[in-house]
Amino acid sequence: MHSEGVSSWFSDGKEERELILKMGEPWKESLSILEVGCGEGILAKMIYEKGDGVVVTGIDYSEEAIKKARKKLPEEHSCLIFRKWNYREIADKVVNDKYDRLVMQGVLEHLDYPFDELKWMMENLLTEKGDVITSSPCFLNPRGQVWMTLTMLGAVMSKTDLHFIHPWDISKFCRDEGYHMQWDTCDWDWANGERMVRDLRQRIPLALKDGNLPCDDKKFSLYMDWLDTFRFPTNHGATAVYKIRKGG
């Protein structure tokens, strides 16, 4: 997908990155940051530019993504680094493997055991007063209701999301582990609006096809027209961003 470029993605993630930056304020001087699953380095570069003297290391297992991230740097930066690493290998690669903050944009839902891995990261990669800022799709909205219903019926709404993580899943994890959590949402028009309809018009036929389910083009068109004219009330955007820190 990184080789094919931005046309491979349904969303550009702009609002998501902006909320991550807001949730992390202030990005203090000498803060050491690890972005897990940095992709092509867009967020890592934004954090580097936002912070005054922060040190950002972006890691990803995609060699293509890391190549593209490095190309965006005019020269080698000692405070903005990209590496083709797996987060569980960091202790073997660097001496100081503790970070003040871990950042993940849409990573947890792709992991086999997201909460086991999140706990491992917090215990092994974070300093004692460190925190995690992570984002995932939020399904507490009309888009989420359509998505979860079609998934239950066998449509393949995403070929890469292994889990549908809800805010209450994160909340329970934090209660169980004694962590403190703050959260907020963004992408409101993706949750219930023109952008949602545009996304679902593209996504649903593909999801039905991948799930070997029939699609009546006429009925589908009527359904999407109805979604486009009827606005459901919602209190949450399509993307949730969480700030998690040790200590209740």
- Cis peptide bond prior to 26, omega within 30° of 0: yes
pLDDT at 2 > cutoff 70: no
Q: What DSSP line would sit under 69-111, residue for residue?
A: HHHT-SS--SSEEEE---GGGHHHH-S---EEEEEEES-GGGS
Cα distance between residue 169 and residue 164, in whole Å: 9
pLDDT at 71: 87
pLDDT at 207: 97
pLDDT at 74: 57
Cα distance between residue 33 and residue 46, in whole Å: 12
Cα distance between residue 242 and residue 209, in whole Å: 33
If you average pLDDT over residues 44-49, what whole number do you get? 92
If you average pLDDT over residues 209-214, what whole number do you get? 96
Collapsed DSSP state (helix, strand, coil) of residue 34? strand
Residues shown for the chain: 248
Q: Select the more confidently predicted residue: 75 or 73.
A: 73
Confidence band (pLDDT; 50, 70, 90) for 93?
A: low
For residues 37 and 116, the answer to whether their CB atoms sit within 8 Å is: no
Cβ contacts of 3 within 8 Å, gap of 6 or more: 64
pLDDT at 133 > cutoff 90: yes
Collapsed DSSP state (helix, strand, coil) of residue 156? coil
pLDDT at 34: 96
Q: Select the more confidently predicted residue: 119 or 12.
A: 119
Residue bearing tokens 């190309």? 71
pTM of the model: 0.91
Identify which of 174, 169, 184, 86 has the alpha carbon closest to the alpha carbon of residue 135. 184
Confidence band (pLDDT; 50, 70, 90) for 6?
A: low
pLDDT at 4 > cutoff 80: no
pLDDT at 154: 96
For residues 146 and 234, the answer to whether their CB atoms sit within 8 Å is: no
pLDDT at 96 > cutoff 80: no
Quote the percentage of the chain above a pLDDT of 70.
Answer: 91
Cα distance between residue 248 and residue 245, in whole Å: 8
- Is beta strand 126-137 parallel, antiparallel or unpaired with respect to 99-105? parallel
pLDDT at 231 > cutoff 60: yes
